[in-house]
Structure 1
């Protein structure tokens, strides 16, 4: 068999071989290119995610406990500063490669400092001294000078302070202080106090510079945690001054801090990077090792594993549909060459002569197309996956598809299949019933066993295909029955279009093409349904955190803050909330403890919250027990968590119990249960929700700790300003005033939280999978419908030729096509959509999609847009089918079809 003869046959049947080559190229292109694109999107997401993390979480820090000079005249600073390079050199290679910046610091423990300027403000201050190489380049002096390296030992220790620290502590250049060493600073006791001279005040050139982000920070004062506690601050000194203090018995603590960048990270090395960071902690060699990078890396890894699991389902559907198209293309090629193979057998050829011809042709067509697709896929950005073996197997299978189809194709003269009443054999019915049973069993096993996210699970791969094939088999067996009934009814009416169309549609045998259409459409529908479910669940997660347009949270705010908020531009309403954690339930008003554990208590104005929920459109339901208006006699109706409700019922307190709110006890009864409640953490399983509007009158009214705000175009800074003023008014407005709070109120908006959920970590990978899967499923579905049309094009062409000869008009011809093709296209699209909508309901509990919704379970809601999309896709598919049929009939020229004979 010469290559020239093979090439001539390929040229003669160029259309069929071109289609097979294109499908092969697409298969290997997807196998080689998609993993690269996924890795590229994952690396982009990881780098963006790490860059958005607080800088401190990307720091790897070694530090020591306070060390004391051995008195041998050596410099501790010089000895330990050399470890900055040595520690980096000893890091695992993947961590060492990520180091962008590094810093060395030496500091004393904070000791009590006194001075005239501090006494003027009655300030109690502990001051630590820190040496930071490179600080003169990172800071700008606003007063005085930097500490002098050549200061004499008998002179005061020269210190420079950050401007905010100096302002807070009433210090300036020239301030004289006395610093006492911490208690028990040395084994022999504390050394003598030293004199301190503030010689300079500085501002950072860039506050975001990593040199300022060591802990504790040098740019601000650490506020006292309670009454009688000191302010804590740090001052900058020269290294020589610390050496002198060390020689005098002061302990020094050393720190080596490395900032890890995100630009050089590779997604393939993610697991190795996490293991390397853990290994560094175990090999710290007596140093204190602190890092926070493994937490975001593990979070991203969990999201990526869930995203890859979803991509496996999508890829399975796309590749299965492509495999079906390859089978259809091979079958179509063999069908067009049936006369050739029959003639070869009639001339004495063996049973395998046609298969040998097809194999030679496949080698010349499929293998170059597979290689071209592989090379084209490798041009995609991103690190490659281990897919060479899969591409080779796919190329071999596609190469064998044509010769196998040639072997199994019947030879001889074909009969009129449209005149035969086909009945499935017992063997086929048994196979189809077993397939249905296997699909149900696979789903049950998958739900019971679960998944290891991120791995290719054979059971997960098989479930979508089994369900699609089983649904297609059911559709093939069921949809002809109503068509035959319609055909009988149409036979009694005038006109032949409806009768002939329904009769031919009811006798159509298109099992394989319909399976491919169902697979493709199911993949597209799965992507659309899961994407919609994730979006809806993210909306719900954002609404549970902020059940309005904005939420202001603080300590205690003056009651008139709500009226101040409502006067802001864009604010329509403001409702108070009160949230206190760690409260105990008691048996009576005097505080008898039934030992039930602590709960979180939330007070909300039920009617105002319900009105705000309706107005803002957030997905939150307000329990009816909280909607009572005005004070009611008896215990307050409360909504509690199931765990608290069970404990109260067991203790006999579900009808009457007491809980403290801002020091006052309120009686309540269990009027409703809820698994969760807005503004509480998702993992909070112990809470009591009380209706604010029903609180009994007390001498000291409950004060809000926050406000829910509804409005448009809200100014977050204005909300924060009014909240801070309300907090200050409460603190300063009573008979006993407190110090100003160091922390501001927190303002969270629904839109910002929703945006953060939508931009989470591996979300780009998931979006890419959904978009690509939906587009590929739709395109492959339309291509499969074209195969459905082409499979029966010759027979329909002969029928239309006869009918046109008998006087069928062009308009009636189009109507006949619509009636004949409409049921088949509609059933295939509808079956695929139903399978795609059913798959998320079956697979969502095991896919780990809650990683993309802040831990909230993903529920697949009814989506009217999906119904509209199915109708639109069906209309497009039917129009596409009619267009393909019309184009094919124009190419075949219907008059010639009738003259050339039945099987021409």
Structure 2
């Protein structure tokens, strides 16, 4: 073949189709890597957006909505655009103009803020005033005007209020409707009148109907306080506060009567419209909105002044989500390294398959550059096409925006086949000499030293900080820290590559003493190494380590979630929003399934003073130390109550304080609590088990007389321990049924029961928990798949040489059983070392990485969870890899000992001699 023919396009075209099997493998691996490179970065971004949306959706409406509180002075009049949605024509004649103005204001907001908050809503009400009759609890009632109220409620009895008075108060009874709970609480029947004392006059109210909310959890009821559920104000006797719906068309009458009015205009946050990328912009735009007042159109009424906690909600959520991003990155790093090993194996196999063809081209006059062009150009073209196809497929899958990281990863996956194939072809084609033979060894040593130094440096740089911790204030992933798993994996592989030959030689020495030649010959061949070298060992070690690490991470999060939930509840059952006296607590103890009950009293508004500092406020907590210890026995994170609480302090009542208050005290042990002296007798504690945060002071109930505490014997919370954990749901039902009798006075909020299972379910609803578990499972499955492919490629690489060696020995009397034993013993060291080394490396990764990563944002706990092992998950993962290895070994054994396709002894000897090791050029495999 002439140089003209060799340099022609015809030669390039022929080379593209000369090795279809090799090209198919390269294409499949490149497509897979390109899909992963496209999907994984976008998937992580999508997870972060899901977390932010979840946090915004779970935030209290008063914290996430954009709110303007006022005094109800708005422009009233009809809408120019017709009847607004949710209003009647009569209501639109009064409220339509305000609705138009708010809609126009919303349209002027900049994007993405305009899409993040929904259309405006509003409500107005009179300030509650006294209403009482003999024999009924005193009430404080207000009138709520809302043109859309009928769309928010379901009438349970009676009818909607009608009539539009000219003025309120007036002598004409005013029709109202009340929530079922309100009517029941103040014993108000439909058709009955009640007096309301307004501006020195009496306005008779007639109840014409009752209602329940369509959605009691809707954000509207947070703005329309005390409307769907009455509030009970403490006192002797207590006062019931409630707001009643009246005909909204009559609001001008309230204005004409000069009644004090409160109003609220708000734009509800739309969690589904938030994305992680837009968080900084949205937060900035809201802060700009809330720093100035705003005029509604040409209105002469007072301007709107908005407040919102949404910027803080968004930024705190984004900061917490960095932990999720870090953990997902940690999970993905090692599988990516495993995929690179597979890529190298494919290139090595391709180079071996092309060896004879390239030698033939060289013999026919092709230059080295031409031979590399024949190999590299088709591989590059194929890599580009396969990467483009994989990128197109990945772009169709859900995720975040396509960023620079995904683009770089796709580009690397596109050119990697050509680069690796050319590199291995050069290695195969290169003739060895003394100088060059030493160079790979020096490069390997330099690379190993670089990995060791890099690992040590990364560990030292991150040992004092946790990835994405809230304390660090970081809003991006610590790339140095997230590189630690990959560096540790590389370090573990280096150790295995150094230790593996030593171990195999010792096994060979032991095999010399054994009967039969199977173990000796097989281990000897394992020492020499096949065409793939030690790459299969790296694949097995990395694959098993990924599975073990992912399994331990998943188990740790599951166990940590349960532990944190139990610590948060503080007992088997936590009851909140109750008022229970000692007799009521004792009645709860008699309920079937209840082992013990501890009451907790909280006063949230006491002043703490100490020398040299400004006064601060703190909650005061009363507990019975003995009861609380009994109830919290065995509970993780239980309160470490000090025995000195029962003693007599020298400078006042003995107390324990929260960590935050202790910081404010700056080590001061003596202070005054609402004018009474107290002394801190123990180290600060965390109040998580009692659902307390901020500043608080705890003391034993027996020392309550030493301070000012209203209703010392009344508990507002109760911790319950059950006799059988399996009976918790049934006990909750019994407690719920008993509380209407035992609760002395209901509070504003409804009674709430919380169990560890409820808390786990609430925490598990966080997308971060779901996605990390999904990623861990995908990592285990992906590692098993990639390891299987690596072992299959190794079988393909070493198959001809292995079959040739077995056939050659068969010619001198080797039985088929002995041949199979040789193959099994050849592969056994790889499997044993890979499984053991991978398990050890995975455990080491878990110990180091989980000490760096802060998992508390996932578990909601107060302390970092300890590493946990799920025997079924971890053992099953290792068993999966063992099964993959056994199946691969059985296939290799059968393939090497098949008689019907075995070559002749002469051909076998030629094939056996042709099989060389990269570590031992020219030596028989």
Tell me the TM-score normalized by structure 1: 0.79
Shift of 1:534: 1.1
**Cα distance in 2, alignment partners of residues 32 and 43 from structure 1:** 17
> Of 806, 809, 824, which aligns to 1:818?
824
Which of 72, 95, 105 is 1:87 aligned to? 105
Matched residue, 1:903: 914
Corresponding residue of 2:452 = 436
Structure-2 separation of matches of 1:107 and 1:607: 44
- Pick aligned residue for 2:127 from 95, 102, 109: 109
After superposing the two structures, state which structure 1 stretch, 372-381 or 139-148, moved more: 139-148
Separation of aligned partners in 1, 2:663 and 2:284: 43
Normalised by the size of structure 2, how large is the TM-score?
0.77
Give me the whole-angstrom Cα distance separating, in 2, the residues matched to 1:470 and 1:834: 12
> Deviation of residue 357 (structure 1)?
0.7
Task: Note the 1:847-858 alignment, pairs <5 A.
Answer: 847-858=853-864
What CA distance in whole angstroms lies between the structure 2 residues aligned with 1:155 and 1:640?
Answer: 57
Q: Deviations over 1:291-329 (max 9, x none)?
A: 455565445434432222122223322222222221221
Q: Distance in 1 between matches of 2:599 and 2:663?
A: 24
Report how far residue 669 of structure 1 moved. Answer: 8.7
Superposed displacement of residue 373, structure 1: 0.9
Q: How much does 1:162 deviate?
A: 1.0
Q: Paired residue for 1:149?
A: 164
Question: Is residue 709 from structure 1 mapped to residue 722 from structure 2 by the alignment?
Answer: yes
Shift of the 86–169 alpha-carbon distance from structure 1 to 2, 3 Å rule, reads farther
Equivalent in 401, 419, 427 of residue 400 of structure 1 = 419
Q: Does 1:542 align with 2:542?
A: no
> What is residue 336 of structure 1 aligned with on the other side?
353
Equivalent position SS for 1:93? coil
Deviation at 1:716, TM superposition (A): 4.6
| 1:59-93: CA deviation from partner (whole Å, max 9, x where unpaired) | 433232464999xxxx9967645433233223333
Alignment of 1:232-311 (within 5 A): 232-239=241-248, 241-285=250-294, 286-291=303-308, 293-294=310-311, 296-298=313-315, 300-311=317-328
Secondary structure of the corresponding residue to residue 811 of structure 1: helix
SS in structure 2 opposite 1:772? helix
Q: CA contact under 8 A between 2:327 and 2:853: conserved in structure 1? A: yes
Distance (whole Å) between structure 2 residues aligned to residue 210 and residue 818 of structure 1: 68
Structure 1 contact 520–832 (Cα < 8 Å) conserved: yes
The answer to whether residue 239 in structure 2 is matched with residue 221 in structure 1 is no
Q: Which moved more, 1:511-520 or 1:469-478?
A: 511-520
Going from structure 1 to structure 2, the CA distance change for 1:221 and 1:747 (only over 3 Å counts) comes to closer
Q: Offset at 1:352?
A: 1.8
Q: 1:827 aligns with which of 827, 830, 833?
A: 833
Give the Å deviation of 1:287.
2.7
Q: How does 1:450-849 map to 2 (within 5 A)?
A: 451-452=467-468, 455=476, 457-508=478-529, 510-546=533-569, 548-552=571-575, 554-558=578-582, 567-568=591-592, 571=593, 573-580=594-601, 602-603=623-624, 609=630, 613=634, 679-681=689-691, 705-711=718-724, 714=727, 716=729, 719=732, 722=735, 725=738, 729=742, 731=744, 745-849=751-855
Q: Per-residue deviation at 1:578?
A: 4.0
Structure 2 equivalent of residue 362 of structure 1: 379
Shift of 1:476: 1.2
Structure 1 residue aligned with 2:709: none
The structural deviation recorded for 1:42 is 5.5
Give the structure 2 partner of residue 588 of structure 1.
Answer: none
- Report the CA distance between 1:159 and its aligned residue: 3.5
Instruction: Name the CA shift for 1:428/1:140 in 2 (closer, same or farther; >3 Å).
Output: closer
Q: Secondary structure at the match of 1:148?
A: coil
Give the conservation status (yes or no) of the 8 Å contact 1:534–1:858. Answer: no
Q: What's the offset of the Cα at 1:685?
A: 9.7
Confirm or deny that 1:201 pairs with 2:209: yes
CA contact (8 A) 1:105 1:255 kept: yes
How many Å apart are 1:777 and its aligned residue?
1.8
**Helix, strand or coil at the partner of 1:856:** coil
How far apart are the structure 1 equivalents of 2:501 and 2:655?
A: 58
> How far apart are 1:362 and its partner, in Å?
0.9
Contact 1:36 1:384 (C-alpha < 8 Å) held by counterparts? yes
1:378-417, aligned counterparts within 5 Å?
378-386=395-403, 387-411=406-430
| Contact map agreement 1:144 1:199 (CA 8 A) in 2 | no
Q: In 2, Cα distance between the equivalents of 1:622 and 1:250?
A: 50
Structure 2 residue 38 is the aligned partner of structure 1 residue 21:
no
Alignment check: 8 A CA contact 2:769 2:858 kept: yes
Partner of 2:919: none
- On the 8 A contact 2:575/2:751 being kept in 1, the answer is yes
Q: Give the Cα separation in 2 of the matches to 1:413 and 1:68.
A: 91
Contact 2:591 2:734 (C-alpha < 8 Å) held by counterparts: no
Partner of 1:755: helix, strand, or coil?
helix
Aligned residues: 840
Q: Deviations over 1:97-155 (max 9, x none)?
A: 35556433233333345xxxx32236544333332113345453733652323758876
1:878 alignment partner in structure 2: 885
Aligned to 1:418: none
Is 1:160 aligned with 2:176? yes
- Equivalent residue of 2:914, what SS? coil
Contact 1:818 1:882 (C-alpha < 8 Å) held by counterparts: yes
Q: What's the CA shift for 1:475?
A: 1.0
CA distance in 2, matches of 1:347, 1:69: 95
Q: 1:687 to 1:408 in 2, by over 3 A?
A: farther
1:877 CA drift (Å): 3.8
List per-residue Cα deviations over 1:458-480 (Å, max 9, x = no partner).
Answer: 42453322222221111111122
Asked if the contact 1:131–1:237 (Cα under 8 Å) also holds between the matched residues in 2, the reply is: yes
Q: Provide, for residues 157-197 of structure 1, a one-character-per-residue CA deviation record: whole Å limited to 9, x for no partner.
A: 62413143344345456655665556xxxxxxxxx636344
Q: Distance in 1 between matches of 2:750 and 2:149?
A: 30
State whether residues 578 and 604 of structure 1, in contact with CA within 8 Å, keep that contact through their aligned partners in structure 2: no
Say which SS state the counterpart of residue 120 (structure 1) adopts: coil
Distance 1:231 1:685, change over 3 A: closer
Of 470-479 and 126-135, deviating more is 126-135
8 A Cα contact 1:525 1:833, kept in partner: yes
Alpha-carbon separation, structure 1, partners of 2:47 and 2:797: 40
Q: 1:60 aligns with which of 66, 69, 85?
A: 66
Q: Is the 8 A contact 1:178 1:194 kept in 2?
A: yes
Q: Which residue of 2 aligns with 1:33?
A: 39
Partners in 1 of 2:25 and 2:830 — Cα distance?
23
User: 1:235 and 1:727 mapped to 2: Cα distance?
Assistant: 25
How has the CA–CA distance of structure 1 residues 279 and 785 changed in structure 2, closer, same or farther, with 3 Å as cutoff?
A: farther
Q: 2:341·2:539 contact (CA, 8 Å) conserved in 1?
A: yes
SS in 1 for 2:367: coil
